[in-house]
Amino acid sequence: MKRERLARFALGDRRPTTAGVTSAVAGGLALTYLAYRAMALVLNALGLRRLRAPEGAAPDGVPDGALDRYRVSLLVPARDEATTLPATLPHLLAQGADDVVVLDDHSSDGTARVARDAGAQVIAGRPLPEGWVGKTWACQQLADAVTGDGAEAAPDDTRPHLLVFTDADVTWRPGALARLVAEMDRGRADLLTVFPRHLVGSFGERVMVPLVDAAFVGNAPVPIIRSRGHGALAANGQVMAFRREAYERAGGHAAVRGELLEDVRLARRARDAGARFDVVLGGEAIEVRMYDSYAAAVVGMAKSMPGLHRESRLVMVGSAAFFVMTYTLPWLLRPTPLVRLVRGLGLIDRAVVNLLVGRTRAVDLAETLLGPISPLAVLPAYRRAISGRLEWRGRTYPAARRGWRP
């Protein structure tokens, strides 16, 4: 009797057919994956923190004296960011850091002039050496600029030094840096990485960009990641704050010079070298608009995919197929009870992700309805990632190195 009820749940009231069995198998696999994600979402809801103002902070959320104990350097790699910096750089300059340094990475659009006019210290990037990725080389030069022999610091300044790397498109709200420093102190972190809250505009962005949040909070149970000595890490190069000693023990960006997924690789090296690692959400304090169109999202997401899939084309193909099977295929199948359950859980999954990261406006929650088409929209990014080479900011890099020959 129990077996019959299970068959009706999976196949409906009809006799088993090849299509029905295929539907039941696909639905069962999707349900298993969604159950895992539900576990990760619950753990992250309980243990994943947002940047917040500590008790006793000023009305604007700035902790009194939070920055006084450290020398803080805000380091910004920038390549062709002349249209972005006018919106983000003034917020950085108002944070109260000791240094705000922008590296102009051979821009063609006046990035250096815009940054200098805003009041930032600007350094010109040196030519890209062989074997380096553009961003890792830019970040290493920034670190050298504030830690090397020519760094501008008072000789008697003995405060601990924090290196805070942040992308040019990240917006730091008032008091955000002080909150970050207070969070590092609270968790005694040697490396704190922040996942900013996403700002989106166009329809194409709403289809694509929330998948970044979905991959993070739905696949990476942060409380488990924090407690493990080895294995996976969830790190984000958009905002990474190091105690200088931890950065140097990890080898700096030179240690991950050829990595497109440099943030995760460097965080792993830091942790393996003994650094205490932590991760938080940016919430209302730190936000980012990663891309300004669907086309830009495809190119940008393709750049990170090989590193997130073990540099394997086969793994990327399997990931794309599983993604479509879980969130899109159920809407094309006959609506058995199992299929209806998978459909509902897929929509709930998307809504919970937005709630966890703080995207709670009605228009953001309405993105739930885009869940079934997002796997199809991201397929061009998978296709680019699986191809022979990747382009980003006018530079070309090798794509996946394993799986099959180009």
Confidence of residue 326 (pLDDT cuts 50, 70, 90): very high
pLDDT above 80 (res 386): yes
What band does 366 get if pLDDT is binned at 50, 70 and 90? very high
**What percent of the chain lies above the pLDDT cut of 90?**
70
Average pLDDT, the chain: 88
Residue 12 — very low, low, confident or very high, per pLDDT cuts 50/70/90?
low
Band (pLDDT 50/70/90 cuts) for residue 223 is confident
Lowest model confidence (mean pLDDT) among 10-24, 92-106, 329-343, 361-375 = 10-24
Question: How high is the pLDDT of residue 222?
Answer: 84
| pLDDT (0 to 100) of residue 388 | 67
> What does the pLDDT read at residue 405?
41
Query: C-alpha angle with apex 134: 139 to 160, nearest 5 degrees?
Result: 5
Report pLDDT for 139: 98
Q: Which residue has the tokens 């019959």?
A: 4
Distance CA 398, CA 387 (A): 9
Residue 247 pLDDT > 70: yes
Contact yes or no for 50/283 (Cβ under 8 A): yes
Please report the pLDDT score of residue 367 as a whole number. Answer: 92
What is the per-residue pLDDT across 267-289, written as a single tens digit (0 to 9) for each?
A: 999 999 999 999 999 999 999 99
**Residues 148-161: tens digit of each pLDDT:** 865 665 667 789 99
Cα(187)–Cα(276) distance, rounded to whole angstroms?
A: 9
Topology, domain 71-196+236-290: Spore Coat Polysaccharide Biosynthesis Protein SpsA; Chain A (3.90.550)
Distance, CA of 92 to CA of 312 (rounded, Å): 38
Alpha carbon distance 217, 225 (integer Å): 12
The percentage of residues in the chain with a pLDDT greater than 70, rounded to a whole number, is 85
| Cβ neighbours, 10 Å, residue 83 | 12
Q: Determine the average pLDDT of the residues in 202-231.
A: 84
pLDDT at 119 over 90: yes
**Residue appearing with tokens 């599983």:** 322
pLDDT at 14 > cutoff 70: no
Q: What is the pLDDT of residues 38-94, one digit of tens each?
A: 999 999 999 999 997 655 556 555 566 778 899 999 999 999 999 999 999 999 999
Are the CB atoms for 223 and 279 separated by under 8 Å?
A: no
- Residue 7, pLDDT > 60, answer no
**How far apart are alpha carbons 105 and 81 in whole angstroms?**
10
What local confidence, expressed as pLDDT, does residue 64 receive? 61
The H or E element containing residue 36 is: helix 18-47
Extents of the domains making up the chain: 21-46+296-398, 71-196+236-290
Full-model pTM: 0.89
Give residue 23's pLDDT.
76
Least confident residue range of 147-156, 177-186, 319-328: 147-156
**Angle subtended at Cα 281 by Cα 383 and Cα 288, rounded to the nearest 5 degrees:** 55
